[in-house]
């Protein structure tokens, strides 16, 4: 078991009233290594919140997250940062590439916090390998501004994989792309999921995109229901 969510709750103050809005209301989920799942749901259903909690960017109000046998609630900020850096890869709807850095530099950005020389070793060649894998060798020294939206998102995907994470979290990764590019990205994610045995959690509102994953869940009324 790579990841286990147990009874996760998250609530936000309601914007319209004094009430509290329960976004996540006892979510539990198990994910095995190399498994790919899709979490579906309409906008505002709490999909991104769940993903951020899994990725430790956000904290749940209650519940447990166990990753590789370790309870993440006990982690310090520093350990959480290291956890995100070494075990989790993020892909967002926007590529969020650093505009001032070239393609290869963007891919290498997650390697900067690595302290262990062993981990740092071969980063550059791995980056080149990943760039090659997504067909952007020619553009490796280009700035993101010169790439298309689909190309940028491909760079964002391999950036998420540069540190060989065990878990890849993709939050609407195709939301800004046309259908063709969207399918390419999903195919890429699946391919990398398989090749690198990385677990993949894909958040999307599109059933078509979600259908490529091994399991599909729907987040409804704060509850995660497998469909």
Q: Out of 33, 100, 187, 191, point to the residue binding another protein (CB under 8 A).
A: 100
For residue 143, state whether it binds another protein (rule: CB under 8 A). Answer: yes
For residue 184, state whether it binds another protein (rule: CB under 8 A). Answer: no
Q: Out of 139, 144, 161, 224, point to the residue binding another protein (CB under 8 A).
A: 144
Instruction: List CB contacts of 157: < 8 A, sequence separation 6 or more.
Output: 91, 134, 170, 173, 185, 188, 189, 192
For residue 105, state whether it binds another protein (rule: CB under 8 A). Answer: yes
**Interface map 152-171 toward another protein (x if CB under 8 A):** -------xx--x-------x
Which candidate, 168, 218, 223, 222, places its Cα nearest to that of 192? Answer: 168
Find the shortest distance in angstroms from Cβ 132 to another protein: 17
DSSP E strands: which ranges in the chain? 3-13, 20-31, 36-40, 62-67, 70-71, 88-91, 167-171, 199-204, 215-220, 223-226
Question: How many residues bind to another protein according to rule CB under 8 A?
Answer: 47
DSSP conformation class of 88: E
Which residues inside 188-227 make contact with another protein, applying CB under 8 A?
none
Q: Closer to another protein at the Cβ: 7 or 122?
A: 122
- Which whole-number Å values give the CA distances from 44 to 13, 21, 48, 161, 211, in the listed order? 14, 11, 8, 28, 21
Choices 63-71, 80-88, 189-197, 217-225; region in contact with another protein by CB under 8 A: 80-88
Q: Out of 85, 174, 184, 193, point to the residue binding another protein (CB under 8 A).
A: 85
DSSP conformation class of 110: G
With 0-12 CB in 10 A as exposed, 13-18 as middle and 19+ as buried, what is 42?
Answer: exposed
Q: Out of 15, 17, 145, 226, point to the residue binding another protein (CB under 8 A).
A: 145
For residue 125, state whether it binds another protein (rule: CB under 8 A). Answer: no
Which candidate, 2, 55, 64, 58, places its Cα nearest to that of 30? Answer: 2
Q: Out of 43, 125, 180, 226, point to the residue binding another protein (CB under 8 A).
A: 43
CA dist., res. 143 & res. 82, Å (int): 28
Q: Closer to another protein at the Cβ: 25 or 94?
A: 94
> Rule CB under 8 A: which residues touch another protein?
43-44, 48, 52, 55, 57-58, 77-78, 81-86, 88-90, 92-94, 96, 98-102, 104-105, 108-113, 124, 141, 143-145, 159-160, 163, 171-172, 175-176
């Amino acid at each position: 078991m790579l990841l286990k969510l147990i009874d996760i709750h998250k609530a936000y103050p309601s914007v319209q009233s004094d009430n509290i809005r329960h976004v996540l209301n006892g979510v539990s989920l198990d994910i095995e290594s190399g498994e790919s799942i899709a979490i579906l749901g309409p906008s505002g259903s709490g999909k991104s919140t769940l993903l951020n909690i899994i990725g430790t960017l956000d904290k749940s109000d209650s519940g447990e997250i166990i990753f590789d046998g370790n309870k993440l609630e006990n982690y310090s900020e520093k350990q959480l940062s290291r956890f995100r850096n070494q075990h989790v890869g993020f892909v967002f709807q926007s590529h969020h590439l650093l505009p001032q850095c070239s393609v290869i530099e963007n891919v290498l950005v997650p390697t900067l916090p690595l302290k262990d020389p062993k981990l740092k070793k071969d980063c550059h060649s791995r980056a080149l390998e990943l760039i090659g894998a997504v067909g952007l060798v020619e553009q490796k020294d280009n700035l993101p501004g010169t790439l298309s939206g689909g190309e940028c998102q491909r760079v964002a995907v391999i950036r998420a994989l540069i540190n060989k994470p065990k878990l890849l979290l993709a939050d609407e990764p195709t939301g800004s792309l046309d259908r063709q590019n969207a399918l390419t990205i999903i195919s890429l994610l699946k391919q990398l999921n398989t090749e690198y045995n990385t677990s993949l959690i894909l958040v999307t509102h599109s059933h078509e995109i979600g259908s490529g994953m091994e399991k599909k869940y729907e987040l409804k009324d704060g509850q995660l229901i497998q469909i």
